[in-house]
Amino acid sequence: MIDRIQVFGALHKVDNQIKRKIDQVALKHDLTGIQAFFLKCIYDNSHKGDLFQRDLEKMFDIRRSSVSTMISCVEKKGYIRRESIPTDKRINKIVLTEEGIKKHEEVDADLKKYKQDLLKDFSDEDIELLYNILERISENTKKE
């Protein structure tokens, strides 16, 4: 019988392994794992309307300074740009450049393949059960 507390060690181990592999895949594209995820969030949400720094702060649940640093870093690589909006000169929308779209699509294809390979030995029922368990754990963390 597995001690319930051992589950957290296993979760932590798998989390570290996945993050390491995602970083390896992203580094092949001159990105860190978090930068690849950052581009994905911008790409996935850009069709919903303008995207601002405060939106990214909420999505990532991180401080303003951390998002600002991330924006600057990815902007220097030429993958995003800040555009002023006519209604409020104090804020800028975040827009993917053509190079940023291309970079996202390249790294995303590699990451999708990695994720598919990672789960290839699991049935649909296994995946659904795992997802539901992780969602329940996530909900319980919000109660604390």
Identity of residue 119: L
Residue 90 parent element (H or E): strand 88-96
Q: Is the pLDDT of residue 89 over 80?
A: no
DSSP structural state of residue 89: E
- Whole-number average pLDDT of the chain: 91
Tokens 């990214």 found at: 56
Q: What pLDDT is attached to residue 92? A: 87
86 is a domain residue: yes
50 is a domain residue: yes
77 is a domain residue: yes
Alpha helices in 28-97, H assignment, sequence order = 33-45, 53-60, 64-76
Phi-psi region at 81: left, alpha or beta (left = phi > 0; alpha = psi -120 to 50): beta
Question: Which is more confidently placed, 97 or 87?
Answer: 97
62 is a domain residue: yes
DSSP structural state of residue 49: S
CB 82 within 8 A of CB 91: no
Which pairs with CB-CB distance under 8 Å and at least 24 residues apart come from 17-20?
Answer: 18/118
- The CATH number given to whatever domain includes residue 82 is 1.10.10.10
Report how many domains make up the chain.
Answer: 1
Q: Which domain holds residue 68?
A: 6-143
Predicted structure pTM score: 0.79
Lowest mean pLDDT among 2-6, 21-25, 117-121: 2-6
Q: How far apart are CA 131 and CA 136, in angstroms?
A: 9
1 is a domain residue: no
Q: What pLDDT is attached to residue 144? A: 63
